[in-house]
Amino acid sequence: MKLKIISTTVALTLCQLLSAAQADPVVAGTSEPSEATKAVPRLNIAWNCGGCTQNDKVIPLIEQAYSNEAAKNGKVISETETAEVAIVSYRQRNPGARVMLGIMAGKDTLGLKITYNGSELSVSDYSANAMQGMNYLCESVAKQAFKKISGAIK
């Protein structure tokens, strides 16, 4: 029984070492970081949706979801390079009405205009689902923004 526990521990340790070796940003034989470790720009987000009611939680939620998506894709957020982001459309249903009335409460919407590397990019999403609110939309548009910005990197 003790031998089985030791061999399981050894196997797990070997798996962790192999995973760490594969995640190493330095390609064997070079001192250059691999393509997967390039940075993506930091988002500089501002409200620009006219008279919409602003929610102070939206910008941090977008930034966090963008950062999570970058990490998931082996990227880091640049300390110096930025993408200018404007929240151009925003509507959030009352959470209580959303849960109680679902689609009859209307829909949440979130749209961004991104200016980066001389390109203007747009991302947006909406939800009329009773369970998916603004947190879902922030994550959705952040993932879209990451994908579009990554494609615009020269």
pLDDT at 21: 44
pTM reported for the whole predicted model: 0.72
* Residue 92, pLDDT above cutoff 90: no
Domain count within the chain: 1
Note whether residue 26 is domain-resident: no
Report the CATH number that the domain containing residue 70 is assigned in CATH: 3.30.160.100
Give the chain's radius of gyration (CA, Å): 21
Note whether residue 9 is domain-resident: no
Mean pLDDT confidence for 27-47: 70
d(CA 108, CA 111): 10
Give, in order, the Cα–Cα distances in Å from 76 to each of 6, 10, 35, 79, 142: 37, 32, 12, 9, 15
pLDDT band at 10 (very low <50, low <70, confident <90, very high): very low
pLDDT band at 54 (very low <50, low <70, confident <90, very high): very high
The proportion of the chain whose per-residue pLDDT surpasses 70, expressed as a percent, equals: 67
Note whether residue 119 is domain-resident: yes
d(CA 66, CA 45): 12
pLDDT at 105: 64
The whole domain housing 148 covers: 38-152
pLDDT at 29: 44
Note whether residue 23 is domain-resident: no
Amino acid residing at 82: T
Note whether residue 132 is domain-resident: yes
pLDDT winner (highest mean) among 62-66, 127-131, 135-139: 62-66
pLDDT at 15: 44
> Considering the chain, what is the average pLDDT of its residues?
79
* Residue 8, pLDDT above cutoff 50: no
d(CA 25, CA 33): 5
50: alpha, beta or left? (left if phi > 0; alpha if psi -120 to 50): left
Note whether residue 73 is domain-resident: yes
pLDDT band at 112 (very low <50, low <70, confident <90, very high): very high
The proportion of the chain whose per-residue pLDDT surpasses 90, expressed as a percent, equals: 51
